[in-house]
Amino acid sequence: MKFNFRNKESVNYFKELSLLSRHALTAAEYLEEVLKTFEAAMLGEYLVKMHEIEHQADVDKHEMLKKLTKEFLPPIDKDDLFLLSHDIDDVIDSIEEVLIFIDLQGIHEIHEEILSFANLIVQSCQQMNLAVETFEDYRKTEHLRAQLESVNRLKSKGKNHYIEALKTYYVTDRKPVEILIYTELLKRFECCTSNCKTVTNNLERIMIKNL
């Protein structure tokens, strides 16, 4: 007598994670698009659309976790899949937080330093997404490692950009309150690239654990 412990409907959790990471990339690309053509009067509409992206990611994450609770033999440990889904969700939340902060602080001017950081977030999400999509073949470590290293470099670049942008603000003739606001905004940008690195750190940990 044979026992089948798999769900009748087989779930590809790697593809489920890839779907979540694509939501992160969509959010990053939308943030950059908004900041390139920024109009303060449009912030309400910007926030609605960004929240739609974040909400759809939440829906897909919860659907994946619902399937996971019924799964007997997932391809990797349940808790690893659970943590990865939340790490990716943190990336999306941190991107939305940038736009929320701009709205709360009534920011009307998007400087070149901010635009450059927005593009860096897009690059980080692109490489993170490639790493997540590559993860299904994690035994071919050379392909995955290339993506992990790319995200690591971009995270370091983000930290350097944060420091250099702060230097620019501190040496210019700006009001202290304005410097404080843009400092906090830059912190939120840096958090986005850092969260991408958290995802790839977790991918690397799981890869090593399962080799």
pLDDT digits (tens, 9 = 90+) for 7-51: 446 789 999 999 999 999 999 999 999 999 999 999 999 999 999
CA atoms of 159 and 186, how far apart (whole Å): 10
Q: What is the pLDDT of residues 69-126, one digit of tens each?
A: 988 888 889 999 999 999 999 999 999 999 999 999 999 999 999 999 999 999 999 9
Asked if residue 93 lies in contact with residue 191, where contact means CB atoms within 8 angstroms, the answer is no
Report the chain's terminal Cα–Cα distance, integer Å: 32
Show the DSSP H helices in the chain as ranges. Answer: 13-36, 43-70, 78-104, 112-134, 141-171, 176-210
- Say which CATH topology domain 13-210 has: Methane Monooxygenase Hydroxylase; Chain G, domain 1 (1.20.58)
Helix (H) or strand (E) holding 15: helix 13-36
Q: What's this model's pTM, rounded to 2 decimal places?
A: 0.91
